[in-house]
């Protein structure tokens, strides 16, 4: 989203009147005035809802406009991975009817400075949907930008060509493991299919009329961590656009033993200035002679990045709320994020936690743009952006953290103090 630099005057300087030569001014009542030209460049218009965030570094203003929708076109999948959320829920599976998807697309807000992104993924394999090509076509006809996250098993040459033909902007292939053994344990399948899918996408992209980013995503676990350097090497060899490595959401006690973020979660609740000594490091070449220095910087922290040098970019920050995103389930429920899309179990802080879904609305009942601007949904996003939740990771869990219904600060449900995404442990696809 566009951001504005702080335009505050020195303490003793007179405040310029509205309409002065500078196109940003503060009048004597403290009201910020921006010129029509600057508003237009930022994609803002009179009467539009905006988000204003102020801190010691200045003021940031952006439109409270929906930017990205995670579309769970299906909750079915052709794999049964041990870390999957299906091992922590009891919900029926299904595909989003084309008619429902048409209502979803018809309810998108009008395109502003940038088109809305429709990201097909959620908790199912989008290529399992019998009408996935039709859904992509409808998305592009509506002017949306399209992303697809897939396990690659169904991504043959024809499917890869179809993604290119439909103008998909980004494809993420899940490859949870850098070698055959790790992938088989995490996915229950041979890695050749996922890697072959990446190669087919690269080949198909040569005929694309517009750019298409191709990358891989992996979950770091005790089983897979040792193999991930090989995945990174492979990604560099192919010159992929991105490699995403996130943490595990354990839905069972057994999978919790695979998690690699116990100390990282604890360290995330402290503000970086609390760590001593603070370490500032300039950039240096990564080569043999600097390897010991890099290792020392990593090993002296409880987590990576080290709390001594971490800029807290991920600390208590909900990407969905800050970056104006939401999720829609196959049966039409709108949720603020992927974590709140379904009732499910998570095993965090040595206890099972029931995460109850939060329904902001249904696309069968109201346009998505109306749900986004609903006062209750807007208030929820504001509350999450402020993130005034207790430091549950540091506390280590209690009776209140057995669900996301309440916390010791008295917040209304759903509460997010134990959210793995907000601490940068789990990465959004």
Lowest mean pLDDT of 94-108, 254-268, 334-348, name the range.
Answer: 254-268
The pLDDT value recorded for residue 333 is: 97
CA 169, 174, 175: angle at the middle one, nearest 5?
130
pLDDT interval class at 14 (50, 70, 90)? very low
pLDDT interval class at 125 (50, 70, 90)? very high
* DSSP letter for each residue of 59-82: EEEEE----EEEE-SBS--S---T
| Residue 263 pLDDT > 90 | no
Q: What CA–CA distance (Å, rounded) separates 90 from 86?
A: 7
The average pLDDT across 227-242 equals 95
The average pLDDT across 95-100 equals 98
> CA nearest 393: which of 341, 358, 351?
351
The pLDDT value recorded for residue 56 is: 65
Q: What CA–CA distance (Å, rounded) separates 4 from 54?
A: 11
More confident residue, 63 or 204: 204
Question: Per-residue pLDDT tens for 110-124?
Answer: 866 689 999 999 789
More confident residue, 184 or 355: 355
> CA nearest 24: which of 37, 43, 12, 13?
37
The pLDDT value recorded for residue 311 is: 64
pLDDT interval class at 80 (50, 70, 90)? confident
| Residue 15 pLDDT > 80 | no
First-to-final CA distance of the chain: 19
Residue 116: C-alpha distances to residues 14, 223, 374 (Å): 42, 37, 18
pLDDT interval class at 11 (50, 70, 90)? very low
The pLDDT value recorded for residue 313 is: 65
Q: What is the mean pLDDT of the chain?
A: 86
Pairing mode of beta strands 50-55, 32-34: unpaired
The average pLDDT across 342-365 equals 94
- Sorted by sequence, the CB contacts under 8 Å of residue 167 that are 6+ apart come out as 140, 146, 209, 210
| Residue 190 pLDDT > 50 | yes
More confident residue, 196 or 181: 196
pLDDT interval class at 146 (50, 70, 90)? very high
Lowest mean pLDDT of 22-31, 123-132, 396-405, name the range.
Answer: 22-31
The pLDDT value recorded for residue 7 is: 36
| Residue 12 pLDDT > 90 | no
Considering the entire predicted model, what is its pTM? 0.88
Q: What CA–CA distance (Å, rounded) separates 183 from 151?
A: 12
More confident residue, 47 or 110: 110
The average pLDDT across 233-256 equals 93
CA 119, 122, 124: angle at the middle one, nearest 5?
120
The pLDDT value recorded for residue 339 is: 94
pLDDT interval class at 1 (50, 70, 90)? very low
More confident residue, 298 or 174: 174
pLDDT interval class at 13 (50, 70, 90)? very low
The pLDDT value recorded for residue 315 is: 77
The pLDDT value recorded for residue 112 is: 63
Percent of the chain with pLDDT over 90: 56
Place of tokens 């020392």: 296
Helix (H, G, I), strand (E, B) or coil at 139: helix
More confident residue, 203 or 276: 203
């Amino acid at each position: 989203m566009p951001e504005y630099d702080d335009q505050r005057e020195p303490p003793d300087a007179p405040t310029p009147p509205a309409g002065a030569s500078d196109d940003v001014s503060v009048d004597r009542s403290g009201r910020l005035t921006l010129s029509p030209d600057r508003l237009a460049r930022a994609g803002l218009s009179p009467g539009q809802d905006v988000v204003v965030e102020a801190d010691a570094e200045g003021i940031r203003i952006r439109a409270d406009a929906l930017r990205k929708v995670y579309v769970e076109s299906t909750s079915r999948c052709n794999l049964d991975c041990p870390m999957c959320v299906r091992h922590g829920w009891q919900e029926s599976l299904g595909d989003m009817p084309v008619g429902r998807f048409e209502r979803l697309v018809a309810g998108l807000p009008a395109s502003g400075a940038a088109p809305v992104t429709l990201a097909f993924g959620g908790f199912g394999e989008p290529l399992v949907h019998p009408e996935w090509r039709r859904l992509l076509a409808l998305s592009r006809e509506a002017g949306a930008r399209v992303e697809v996250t897939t396990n690659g098993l169904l991504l043959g040459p024809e499917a890869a060509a179809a993604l290119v033909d439909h103008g998909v902007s980004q494809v993420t292939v899940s490859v949870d493991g850098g070698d055959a053994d790790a992938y088989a344990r995490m996915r229950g399948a041979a890695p050749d299919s996922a890697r072959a899918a990446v190669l087919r996408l690269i080949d198909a992209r040569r005929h694309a009329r517009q750019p298409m980013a191709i990358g891989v995503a992996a979950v770091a676990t005790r089983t897979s961590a040792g193999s991930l350097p090989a995945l990174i090497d492979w990604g560099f060899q192919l010159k992929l656009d991105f490699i995403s490595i996130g943490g595990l959401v354990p839905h069972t006690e057994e999978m919790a033993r695979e998690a690699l973020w116990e100390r990282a979660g604890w360290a995330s609740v402290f503000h970086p200035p609390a760590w001593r000594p603070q370490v500032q490091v300039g950039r240096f070449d990564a080569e043999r002679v600097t390897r010991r220095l890099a290792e020392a910087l990593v090993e002296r922290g409880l987590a990576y990045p080290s709390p001594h040098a971490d800029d807290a970019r991920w600390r208590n920050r909900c990407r969905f709320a800050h970056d104006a995103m939401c999720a829609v389930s196959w049966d039409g429920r709108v949720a603020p994020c992927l974590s709140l899309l379904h009732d499910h179990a998570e095993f965090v802080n040595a206890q099972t936690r029931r995460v109850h879904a939060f329904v902001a609305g249904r696309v069968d009942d109201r346009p998505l743009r109306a749900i986004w601007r609903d006062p209750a949904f807007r208030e929820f996003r504001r509350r999450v952006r402020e993130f005034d939740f207790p430091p549950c990771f540091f506390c280590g869990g209690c009776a209140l953290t057995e669900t996301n219904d309440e916390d010791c600060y008295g917040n209304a449900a759903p509460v997010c103090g134990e959210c793995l995404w907000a601490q940068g442990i789990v990465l959004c696809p």
